[in-house]
Amino acid sequence: MPLRSVLSGYFAAHSTLRACNTVVVAVSGGADSLALLHALQALPAAERPALWVAHLDHALRPGSESDARFVCETAARWQLGCSSERRLVRETAARLHLSIEMAARQVRYEFLAGVAQAQGAGAVLVAHNADDQAETVLLRLLRGAGLAGLRGMRPLSRVPGAPALLLGRPLLNVPRASIEAYCAQHALEPRQDASNADQTIGRNRVRHQLLPALEAAQPRLRRILSRTAAVLASEHAVVLQATDRAWEQCALRAPAGQLAFARQPFGALLPALQAGLLRRAVRTLRPALRDVDYAPIAIACEFVRHAAVRQQVLLPGALALYVEYERLLVLPAASAPQPELQPFMDGCSAVDVGVPGRTSLGACGWWLEVCAAPAAAAAPDRWAVQFAHPAQAPLALRSMRRGERFQPLGLHGHSQSVARFLQNVKVPQALRAAWPLLCSGEQVVWVGGWRLDARACALPGTDAWVARLHPPN
């Protein structure tokens, strides 16, 4: 189907977009966004809102300034207004402890929302295509996403961090090959981003390695993944309806900045609905949070089954789930009337530890610091341990494995299962499977916050280090 027909059909299907006086079009200068802008400005004015171009220079590679000039000159040639800014994404990533990809996404949507507000626009249009959708679904499948993640990107949603703004993806059903053919047909000369070939980036590895390998077995894989996303989006709508009903049944009045659920009705729900309520609670209290990870929500649901009154567990967004006699409170962790919070790992994968360095445990907010041991012995502290370890040998943080054993210091060389040890020291059952272990290869070095392995005891003449678990700031 011709691209202009695709756009005409898209606007016809989404009356809320047609009602906007102006839409902001995000243009990087690449083939997708250039084709989108060209086809949009070629539509009759009666079939679309007014257009305003927005370009963000992420300052991530040499020559990015020339992309900005290209977009601004193209917009001027097509008689369209344009906003262009340069933002230092690497500095943002370092300041917020985000990956470059996450920081770029956050900065980009902040910029686009600002342009939309300045221009009085009601929506932002981006040029994600059908291949992007297939890559997104596959990436999320590899991360273990549920229905909400596997439905992929939606044709029309809301701008992250700016829920009053619509976010449209008119090309979501258009293959990349069709877009490139459109550029060639209309003599468009899009910019080439060399970072798209950088296979240290997860999405690029999926695009250039994993998808082609899978397509050798199923040539229609991209179309199948896009169709799967559409099917799961429909099924997710059913889950949302059930979650709405569960919310009405369980939600109670609570002070501003908190949410509360009736404990008994919440406990009677299916685990999937409990998880849905907790995700919604987190998103309600932390609307700027992009993803609500599976692991802390699953841990919280399991925690509710066994928790006693006045116990709590961390949720994403520096929130906590606190247990009362008749209520479950979701509130900022800093204001929860409960003793110390507990660390846990987000998933089953090991996380490399810098020696020296700092390593995040993920959504729980805790982080591990490893540094050289001081000359003088430090005061006793449950959350810190001194241990021996060769400076060049790798360390990792992970949760325990089935049947794993270690040699707790003080047991005179005898071993004990990690699971039994955590039970003996009264770690809540819901947290045991995710409790952080500092490991060297297959050997447990330290059961975080509890016990050093005797084989890692620092002796004179060995390389000594201090590991410390820090709670959320």
What tens digit of pLDDT does each residue of 223-232 get? Answer: 999 999 999 9
Give me the DSSP letters along 363-376: TT--EEEEEEPPSS
Query: CB neighbours (10 Å) of residue 129?
Result: 24
At 263, the pLDDT band (50, 70, 90 cuts) reads very high
**What is 3-225's CATH topology?**
Rossmann fold (3.40.50)
- Most confident range (mean pLDDT) of 98-102, 104-108, 245-249 is 245-249
Percent helix, percent strand, percent coil in the chain, to nearest 5:
40, 20, 35
Please tell me the predicted confidence (pLDDT) of residue 374: 78
What tens digit of pLDDT does each residue of 340-371 get? Answer: 578 988 766 789 998 889 999 987 889 999 99
The residue written with tokens 């409170």 in the block is: 329
Q: What is the pTM of this model?
A: 0.67
The span from the CA of 156 to the CA of 415, in Å, is 56
In the Cβ-directed half-sphere of 441, how many Cα atoms lie within 13 Å?
6
Q: Write phi, then psi, for 450 (nearest 5 degrees).
A: -130, -60
Query: CB neighbours (10 Å) of residue 444?
Result: 25
Evaluate the omega torsion of the peptide bond into residue 356 and state whether it is cis, within 30 degrees of 0.
yes
Q: Which residues, 6 or more positions from 129, have their beta carbon under 8 angstroms from its beta carbon?
A: 32, 171, 172, 174, 175, 176, 179
> What proportion of the chain, given as a percentage, has pLDDT over 70?
97
The span from the CA of 380 to the CA of 375, in Å, is 15
The span from the CA of 323 to the CA of 92, in Å, is 36
The span from the CA of 452 to the CA of 444, in Å, is 8
The span from the CA of 134 to the CA of 150, in Å, is 10
Please tell me the predicted confidence (pLDDT) of residue 145: 82
At 329, the pLDDT band (50, 70, 90 cuts) reads very high
Interstrand relation of 50-57 and 22-26 (parallel, antiparallel or unpaired)? parallel
Cα-based angle 457, 458, 463 (whole degrees, multiple of 5): 135
> What proportion of the chain, given as a percentage, has pLDDT over 90?
62
Q: Per the structure block, which two tokens stand in for 259?
A: 């949410």
Please tell me the predicted confidence (pLDDT) of residue 201: 74
At 287, the pLDDT band (50, 70, 90 cuts) reads confident
pLDDT, mean over the chain: 90
Please tell me the predicted confidence (pLDDT) of residue 196: 72
Is the pLDDT at 333 greater than 70? The verdict is yes
The residue written with tokens 């009903």 in the block is: 245
Which secondary-structure segment (H or E) carries 305? helix 294-306
Please tell me the predicted confidence (pLDDT) of residue 26: 97
Same fold yes or no, 3-225 and 253-335: no
**CATH architecture classification, 253-335:** 2-Layer Sandwich (3.30)
The residue written with tokens 């928790």 in the block is: 307
Is the pLDDT at 378 greater than 70? The verdict is no
Domain range list for the chain: 3-225, 253-335, 351-470
Is the pLDDT at 469 greater than 70? The verdict is yes
The span from the CA of 15 to the CA of 19, in Å, is 6
Query: CB neighbours (10 Å) of residue 100?
Result: 16
Residue 210's alpha-carbon distances to 194, 214, 215, in angstroms, are 19, 6, 9
Nearest CA among 33, 263, 13 for reference residue 127 = 33
Q: 416-436 in b/e burial notation, b at 16+ Cβ within 10 A?
A: eebbebbeeeebbebbbbbbb
Average pLDDT of the residues in 457-471 = 86
Is the pLDDT at 338 greater than 80? The verdict is no
Q: Lay out the sheet containing 312-315: strands in order across.
A: 251-252, 259-262, 327-332, 319-323, 312-315
Query: CB neighbours (10 Å) of residue 37?
Result: 24
Average pLDDT of the residues in 86-115 = 89
The span from the CA of 111 to the CA of 159, in Å, is 11
Q: Which residues, 6 or more positions from 228, have their beta carbon under 8 angstroms from its beta carbon?
A: 137, 150
At 393, the pLDDT band (50, 70, 90 cuts) reads confident
